[in-house]
Structures are given as C-alpha cells and as structure tokens.
A and B are shown apart, each in its own frame.
Chain A
Amino acid sequence: MATLKLKDFRKSFGKVEVIKGVDLEIGHGEFVVFVGPSGCGKSTLLRMISGLEDITSGTLEIDGRVMNDLPPKDREVAMVFQTYAIFPHMTVRENMAFGLTIARASKQEKQQKVAEAARILQMEHLLDRHPSQLSGGQRQRVAIGRAIVRNPKVFLFDEPLSNLDAALRMDMRMEIGKLHEQLDATMVYVTHDQVEAMTLADKIVVLKDGRVMQVGTPMDLYHDPGNLFVAGFLGAPSMNFLQVDVQTVEGDDAKVGNAALKPINVAHKDRLNGSGKAILGVRPQHVEAAAPGEGMLLGTVEFAERLGSETVVDMVLKDDSKFIAAFNEDKVFEPGQTVDLVFDPAQAHLFAPSDEVETVH
C-alpha cells in the first residue's frame, strides 16, 4: 500500500512531447484506471511510474519519496503486461518466485509466498508446469501471481486482459476486483475497455494527447462529464451532441433549442462562452419515445439493432444531424418511420461549442 503523486509529469521522445504535464494524486489502496484513446500516453505514463521509461521533467513520489532517478528495481512496484511477459524457460513456480530469487530470499520464504499467491489465484495445481502448457488466462494469472508474491507498494497493470477472450476477460476482471479488495493494495490500471474501467475503478483518469481531461469516480464522470471529450468517451453508444442556439440565460439555466429541438431549459454550469451557440449532450439511454406530436425531438429511423434487452436506434433529426436512442426494451422499428422523442433536461449536459465534437464522434 502506498500513495502516489505525479507532479507536472512530462515525457518527450526526442522532440515529440507525448506526456504534456500530468498532475495526479493516488491514495492508499486506491484502484485508479487510466483510459483514453490509443496513443494518448497511458502506457507511457505507467512505464514512467515503473521506471522503465525515464521522466523528462516533473516529479514522481511514492509514499512521499521522490523516485525519479531510481531504477525500476528500487521502486517496489510490480507490473503486469498485456503480453503476460512470463519467462518461458521457467516453471510457474520459478516465475512467481523470480523476484524473491533475485532478492536472495530464503527457500522457505519463497515456498510460503508462492503457495499463498497460488492459493489466492487458485492455481496450486499449475505450479510445476511450463508457460507453454498454460492457456492465456492461466498465463496472465501467473503474471499476476508474480506481482503478488513480491508484495509491492504499487501494482501497475497495462491492459492485462486485452489478449483474453470475452468470457475469460469477465472472469479475470472480477478476480482482479476481488484481489484488490483482498490485498488492499494501490493499483494503477490501464485499459481500453470501458466496462473494466467503470467496474474496477475507484477513480478514473481520462487522458487525451498526453493530458488529463478529467479525474473522478466512474459515476461522477458518467453523470457529470466536465467536458465534451469525457462526455463522448465514456458510455456506449456514446453521447449524442446537438448543436444548439442559446436563446436566454436565467440564473443557472439556459434556454436552448434548434431547428430540430423544441426549446428547453438546461443547467449551463458556467460553461457558455457567450457566442450564442452551445452543444447539448444527451445520452442515448436517457431518451424515451413519446406519443405522436408530444416529443421534444422528431427522429426518422435509419436502422435499428435489437439486442433483446435493449434496442439501439440510429436516427436522423429534422436538421439532418444524427441521433442515437437506446430503449431498454425490445421494440420493432422500421426504417423511415418517425419517432417522437423526449428526455429529461436535468440529465442533459451543456458544453461550449468547440471543434472537439469532430474528434469525439
């Protein structure tokens, strides 16, 4: 268990800056998840914490101690890689004991700690196998076991489950969650998978282009995204963005509407930039069908996906913008059919207009 503090973290490869000033505090036993589009610097950030990549500028503190210039072996962190990175010439037991062997631990200590980790991960029966005799899930378990055995201050995971198939990924996800509870350890976890991020994280860090876009609990970010990027990044299908005109502003509310949307009052959260334009975000799940003529929006169905528990409908609005609605029941929609739609303005989000909408969709 440990606290972690990144201060104005920067990293350049040659002339290209890929981490552009990240500030972050991670508390004892917290499970922090980094998400963001490919190439935004998640792995680089993790590798800078582990010491595999040096820190161009800024400071890294673990438990209050500056770690910038310490090699990986002195940082007391453990890392689990997407490709497992277990040693093919060693048995599972030797793999798991590797760190202890390096540290010249006694045979007895090794035996005991490996047995303990194997028990937690339910892989006692695999200890004498070689990695080539293991499935992908079992290999990743060995890698996690190797991390546990050393009892590190911080666990670092770089997309540990993305090489596994969907079912196994779900199992392992739950196991990692359990593990976090059992070990009460500080964990930093990189993933592409929103479900992993939402279910595992105490705190999600959304990154884009080497910068932090927002930090918060999964529900904070989902229900109250601080900017367009986060709004569009979390949630599937992703949030609808309507280009709206700001008609009046009264107190905390702004009256917005456009050719397709009847005017509604939405909290503006001081995000308007006075241009008279704004972007209204509406989650597909927050939309409901209304009686004909009573909708706030009128959509023309392009096509519908029936998933059984849910029906996702792609529509076009009167102003030719795209709109997606997700109804939590099985319904039949015909292409060309018009649907009246309503949503609760309290669940909609208003953002200043920007060119970011393009990058989101």
Chain B
Amino acid sequence: MALVSAENRGLRLAARYATLTLVALVFMFPLVFMVVSSFKPDQQLLSDTSSLRAFLPVGDISLDNYYAAFRRAPIGLFMLNSVFVTVTTVLLSILLCSLAAFSFVFLEWTGRNVLLTIILATLIIPFETIAVPLLLFVSKLPWLGMEGIAWGWLNTYRVQIIPWIVDALTVFLFVQFFKDLPRELIEAARVEGASWFMIYRKIVMPLSGPVLATAAILKSLKMYNEQYLWPLIVVQDEAHRPVMVGLGYFFQLQIAWGEVMAYLTLISVPVIGFYLLMQRAFISSIASTGVKG
C-alpha cells in the first residue's frame, strides 16, 4: 500500500531476515559444534560446552583428532562402502520402483489394486520387527558367483543392497506422480505406436524429473545416514562395513569425543556435497510433496 513508508517496509524486511537468520543458526549450531570440536583436544572440548566457545574455533586447535581417527578406523574404506551401497541401491530402486509403479498405474491386470494396497500396508511395519526373520532368510540365500554357487549372503555388499532396493514409500511416490500425469499423453503415445516400454522410457521417465529427485534424495539419505541396525547384524567383516557402523570404533571403553567429531565431520562431506549438487531439486521436491505442481 502506498501509505506504508519505505522505512516501515525496511523494518519489516529486517525483521524477516533476522528471523530467518535465527532459524538458520538454530539448525547450524550442531553442525558448527561438530566441525569446531573436531579440532579441539577432548578436555577443552568438554569444558567449552558450558559456554559459547563451543561454537568457536579457539584455544588449542589442531588436526590431531583427524590423525587419530584415521589410525583408529579405515575411514576411507567405510566411506567407499557406504557410497557404493547407497549409489547402487538408489539407482536400482529408482529403476524397479518406477517400473512397478508404471505397471500399477498404466497397465490393467487383475489384482493390481489389492497388491498395491498390500505394498503400501508394509509402510507401517517397522524394520526392527522383520530384521531377525530377514537375517535368517538372507543367511541361507544362494548366490551365483565366480566360484559357483555360494550359500548365505552375510558379509557382502549385496546383503546391504538387495533388501533395500524396493520399498513402499518409493513405489508410492512414483504411483502418486504417475497418476497425475495427463492420461492423454500416454494414450497419444499408444496410438502413435509406442510399446509400453517405449512409453515408460520416452514419455513417462523424461517427465518424472521432480519425483526422481525426491525419490533419489530420500533414498540416498536413508541409505547413507540411517543404515545402522541391518549392517550391524549382517556384516561382521571390516571390508564391507558402512560408515554408521564404523562409528562404533570410537565408542570403546573410553570415548574419544574429538575423534568422534572428526569422524562425523569426514563422513558428512559426501552428504553435504550431494546436497549442494541437488540443492535446487531438493528444495523443489520438498515443495512439490506439499503442493501439487
């Protein structure tokens, strides 16, 4: 309105920025604390927590924690393991879940609604309840490798990947998105002579950018950040261990907090890199899950 003076508007803008900054700070504090602390010796780290110094790189700053952390655990190996498991799972997940959703939405076969309902119902089952049965199951599964058939999947990458590829949430995301695609586009493609697979590849997938981003982001974060219980019980050898289980190396009899912080800082690097890479897709995908685009 014309009556609102420039000064007034400026004030309001300032207030808005102040609020946003405050919110950003609240979310940044733990991260800043983690990074800053990773450069401090344990004693100073603990005593600093009682003051704002906890968030400032002051006092006895060094890389000692990092050297120690690397001596204690094969961090590079853990990170490679996690990245490999995450990337493979995400790619396969997007492929298989989108194919499943495509079939649920576009193909007509009896029982598809019942099956979809059953799949969605699995959303409410916490993983902890099926962990043990699943463990027994995978410990007996065969695998055809270089040396012929081997039994049992424990201590492998595949045991960390295959059970996680298809999940109800990802299927659901794709189903919802596909349902909103204009039906005539699919029909036009059919009349134009496209096979179902062609329609999947040339029409549906190229139009699925937003849901691909959402699915990839949610799945990556889950696979990299939250994979703890499962690898803990199925992977005993160090060679296939992911980062979250690796954290256990630092919680021995005496907890080395500085090293924990150094380790956490290191393993956050891929996540932050991924976030920066996907920032725009990330924001728009969060926006689009709430608001129908």
Contact = CB atoms under 8 A, between A and B. Distances in A.
Interface of A: 50-52, 71-73, 77-79, 81, 83-89, 98-99, 102-103, 143, 146, 150
A85 B184 CA distance: 5
B187 to A, nearest CB: 5
B203 A78 contact: no
A81 B192 contact: no
Contacts of A143: 188
Given A85-B182, A87-B185, A78 B207 contact: no
Nearest to A150: B192
Given A85-B182, A85-B184, A89-B207, A98 B191 contact: no
Contacts of A78: 191-192
Contacts, number: 60
B188 A103 contact: no
Contacts of B203: 87
Nearest to A158: B184
B194 interface: yes
Contact of B207 (A88, A146, A150): A88
B191 A73 contact: yes
A99 B202 CA distance: 12
Given A83-B182, A89-B206, A99 B192 contact: yes
Nearest to B194: A102
Given A86-B188, A98-B194, A146-B192, 20 more contacts: A50-B191, A51-B190, A51-B191, A52-B190, A73-B191, A73-B192, A78-B192, A79-B187, A79-B191, A83-B182, A87-B185, A87-B188, A87-B189, A89-B206, A89-B207, A98-B202, A99-B192, A102-B192, A102-B194, A150-B193
Nearest to A79: B191
Nearest to B188: A85
Given A88-B207, A89-B206, A89-B207, A83 B192 contact: no
Nearest to A146: B192
B207 A73 contact: no
Interface residues of B, number: 17
Binding site of A, secondary structure by majority: helix, strand, loop or mixed?
A: loop
Interface string B200-222: 00110011000000000000000
Contacts of B15: none
Contacts of B22: none
Given A81-B184, A85-B185, A102 B198 contact: yes
Contacts of B193: 72-73, 99, 102-103, 150
B195 interface: yes
Contacts of A79: 187-188, 191
Most A CB contacts (10 A, CB to CB) among B185, B188, B195, B203 go to B188
